[in-house]
Structure formats: structure tokens, C-alpha cells
Structure 1
């Protein structure tokens, strides 16, 4: 009895898929790594509140030696007390403005060699670029982008030595934002500062992988922090219409996803389902250490690009409708 060609095709499909997975396993770089936290020095900026404080709590609970840096000495002391009460760990605190490279270098040197550096500092003032003062734009870029450069420059030499001496991989984790994956109305300056972190991270990973240092880029969505509450009070109405429907997630959930990704040596770390889909749609030439995730990116990129076009159509429809209604309201008020 002749073998049906359809039966042969059914046999061929899993063979092709398996062959493709094997190919991806061979070519994905850098190789995956496990980055231990227990007994290691974790240095977190923006560590006095929000995501940074939640990360400090979780790292301390896993047995890490924790240092936190922020501007406010009072809030740092309060954070240290909360970490001690929750975990029994005495965190080291450092008061410095990340815009000041010399102050950052002094704090890093005083803290000692770092195993896991988490660049979590960030500021955000949502406003249309036309209305935003350039001083606010510069402030966001100086804190979000230049502050990250200052931290990495200060910590990297000792991190390289430490990784070589201990034989354990080290990590540099950089807190971006979903606004660093896709631009949103009213986020022009903020998105610019956060998109820039991706270029920094991709190039830096190539520079430090030979030193056994893994870079992670974290993309949290709107997160329930004091800064998020303040941002809601000031952001443009149209921004709230476009971006406000998704709501926020808890800082503890972002910290949990971030720490898990850091320990796995993952380059891109999404924090929810929307972030995971965005990560696939915007994967580009980002490093990828998982052949399974690489396969999902390859298979899903086309479909998610189509979905992205529908999202863009929806957003631009909202913008056009809002401006049309705003124009009518302005004309009506003018007549009155």
C-alpha cells in the first residue's frame, strides 16, 4: 500500500520545527546564565520608594547584601528601616543625585564592588513637546539617561574584577519603560530618554559579555508608585485617554518579574502580558539567549506587527476625534 503524501507531510512538519529550534539553539547569543543573588552585593538606585524599594526588599529576602541610592536622606532612612523590619537585613544607604557623576562615583566606591547593579532611577513629566520647557526635557534626559551612564561608568571596572575573581556572572539591569518600546502622545521627552536606554544596553552587552557580565533591560508598564499617582494628576487629557485604560500594576509585581529575569540573565524583561507581546513585536536585533523565546519572536513578529498597525489606527483615530471635538468646543466658546 502506497504511503499517502499527506502522511509524509505530517511527519515532515515536526522534523522541520525541531531542526529550526536546534538552529536557534546554536545561534542565539549570549548563552543563558544563572546569576545568583544570595550572598552577593545588589546595588539599587531609586531604592527609597516604588519599584526600587520593592526590589531591595526582595533581594534582601533572598539573602543579598543590599545597597540603595537616592537623593532624599530621610526617605533612605525610612527605606532602610522597612527593609530591616521585613527581612532582618541592614541595607547600606547612599544619598546622591545621579546627575552628579562625582557624587555617584563616591557612593559606588564607598559601597564596594557590585555584583548586580540596578539602574532604577527615573523622572517623568508628561506634556506635549510644544508646551514643555526644555529645562524639563533636559532634566529627564539627565536623570534617566545620563544618570545611567554615570552609574555604569563608576561601577563597571570593579564589577569586571569581581566577576573574574569570583567566577560568577554579574548583572547590569537597566529600568526602561513600555514608553521605551512604543511612543505615546505626551511622552515625547520621556520616551526619548527611555528609548535611548535600549541602544545603550544593546551595545553595552556586546562590550561586557567577555567579562561575564549580563545586561538586562526591564520594561515595566504604568506602576502604582508615588510618581505614578503624581503623573496622573498632570498628564494631558489625550494621554490619559490613549494610555490610561490599561491601569497600573503593583511595584512588587514589577520587582518580582525584574529579579526573576535578572537571575536568568535575560536581556529583555517584560513585566506583564502586554509587555511580553510588545517585546516580541519590537525585538529587532536585541540579544536573545532562549531558543524557545527566539522561536516565538520569529513566529509571532508578523502577526504582532499587524496587531500594532491596528493599535496605531485606533490611537490616531482617537487623536483625530479629540482634536476635532476640541476645535468645535473652542469655536463654540468663542461665539459665546
Structure 2
């Protein structure tokens, strides 16, 4: 049975990836931060699921989980690693607390490398293991190529993750380990229900106050119309199993309007469109 480690599986994309991979006969080692989430998923998915308890920023806990997986693999290589765990913090960059920026980068960038360093030996960087080298899938975002107002910290972390992934892919060629980016647009997950309750009062006295509410409402509305978690799971399955995968898969609802056209129009034109929609022009 092929085994895959997936981070951040308690809800959302990670849950969708877990469901699809298990449905294809794979064993998933899924990371959670709360023991009760691991117990719930174990009850849901049965013996095909093994919970791993760690936060991606906790090096010692991640290393302990890698040791746990190594013991289960019994000298064989790990088929895949899906770096999915991540967070987003909204707010205008001129006013965003620097500690919040640091936290987003710590989870979305540094944490991904912490996990990769711990599990890369199991994917084949440890030449004493038997089996074909595994593959890493990095869950990025459309924000890894296009910055959205008031999600600058998230966009910065995903741009950085894409650069890290490209360098990593070329470094790991030495071991035959591939790195593939899956970059989703809006996905219909629980996060959008939580977004309704985001506290934007710290920015109430800024010039951005009315714009922030407008962006929040727009994102919640469109997020709930996003792709299913299972569709993202199928994209990850493809990235893990295709013989000659692309280096990057953009999985975006209404792809032409939300991905292809903005890329064709160029940044300045898109700037003007965003400014008009959100009232970000000086004379708005």
C-alpha cells in the first residue's frame, strides 16, 4: 500500500486530499494539532488513516512524527508528502502588526521547510531505504502569482513558497524526488464561515475601513461558490501519480476570468480593474 503524509487534515483542503487518497487505496498519515481531531478522523477513515500530532512550526514534534512514520514504513520509501497546512491573516499592509506577518511567514513558509526537511529522507534522500523515490506536493494558491489587496501577508508567503519549491525541486533532482505545486483558487471550505467573524475593528480608523468590509463580503460570497474539497483532492492525486507531471497546476473556478485573463491583461491593467471594483483610486 502506498503511503502519503498530508499536513493540516482536520478540515478543508487537507480533509479533501485525505478522502480522495484513501479512496484510491492509499494510507494517509495526516497531521492535526488537536488529539480530538485525530480521533475523529480515525473514526471516519478507519485503518487507512494514521494521525500525526504536530504543529508545522514545532521542529521537535515534526521530527518525532517523521520517526513514527519511518517505523511504520519498515525500510520502504514514502510515496508522497503533501504540504498543505497554512493560515491567512487579513489587513492592509500599512497597518498590519508585524508579529502577524511573521506568524504567517512562519507557518506558510518556514513550517513547510521544517516538514520537508524531516520527511525528505523517507521520500528517498535516505539512500538506505528501498523503493522508488517519492514526490512532494506543495499547496500554494493563486495568491502565489497574484497579490490581492488586504491579503498581502498571505500573498507574500505563497510567492515565497513558490520560489522555495522551485529551488527545492532542482536540488532534489539528485535523489529523484520531484516537487509539484498545486495552486487553488477559492475552495468551498469552513474557512469562509469563519471569515464572517473576522475582527476588522483595528483598522476602523484607517482610510481602508469601508474597503475592508467590501472585500470581506466579496470573498465570503465567492468562497462559498468555490471548488469542492474533493476536486482539490483529485488535483493532488494527479500531481502525485502522473508519470510526467507539470511543475505547477492552477486549479481555479471560472478559470478564464479568475486566472487566464488577468495573466493575459498584465499587472497594470488588473491594478486599474481592482481599484475600480474596490474604490482604491485616489479620487474614489
Which of the numbers 44, 49, 57 marks the counterpart of 2:11?
A: 49
Stretches of structure 1 lacking an aligned partner (at least 5 in a row): 1-38, 282-302, 326-336
TM-superposition CA deviations, 1:53-95 (whole Å, max 9, x none): 11111111111121001211111211121112xxxx4311111
Which of the numbers 65, 74, 80 marks the counterpart of 1:107?
A: 65
Q: Does 1:140 align with 2:140?
A: no
TM-score (ref. length: structure 2): 0.82
Aligned counterpart, 1:21: none
Stretches of structure 2 lacking an aligned partner (at least 5 in a row): 71-76, 201-211
Q: Does 1:119 align with 2:83?
A: yes
2-structure distance, mates of 1:322, 1:279: 23
2-structure distance, mates of 1:118, 1:316: 36
The change in CA–CA distance for 1:58 and 1:230 in structure 2 (over 3 A counts) is same
2-structure distance, mates of 1:121, 1:278: 24
Q: How does 1:266-305 map to 2 (within 5 A)?
A: 266-272=246-252, 274=254, 304-305=263-264
Which of the numbers 52, 58, 79 marks the counterpart of 1:94?
A: 52
Aligned counterpart, 1:256: 234
1:277: Cα distance to partner?
Answer: 7.9
The change in CA–CA distance for 1:212 and 1:278 in structure 2 (over 3 A counts) is farther
Give the aligned CA root-mean-square deviation in angstroms.
2.7
8 Å Cα contact 2:26/2:48 also seen in 1: no
Which of the numbers 128, 144, 160 marks the counterpart of 1:196?
A: 160
2-structure distance, mates of 1:317, 1:238: 12
- Structure exhibiting the larger radius of gyration computed from Cα positions: 1
Aligned counterpart, 2:117: 153
Q: Does 1:170 align with 2:134?
A: yes
Which of the numbers 299, 308, 311 marks the counterpart of 2:270?
A: 311
TM-superposition CA deviations, 1:144-169 (whole Å, max 9, x none): 11110100110112322578855534
- Three-state SS of the structure 2 residue aligned to 1:67 is strand
2-structure distance, mates of 1:46, 1:169: 23
TM-superposition CA deviations, 1:122-177 (whole Å, max 9, x none): 11121112332222211111111111010011011232257885553411111111
TM-superposition CA deviations, 1:297-323 (whole Å, max 9, x none): xxxxxx943365543321122344677
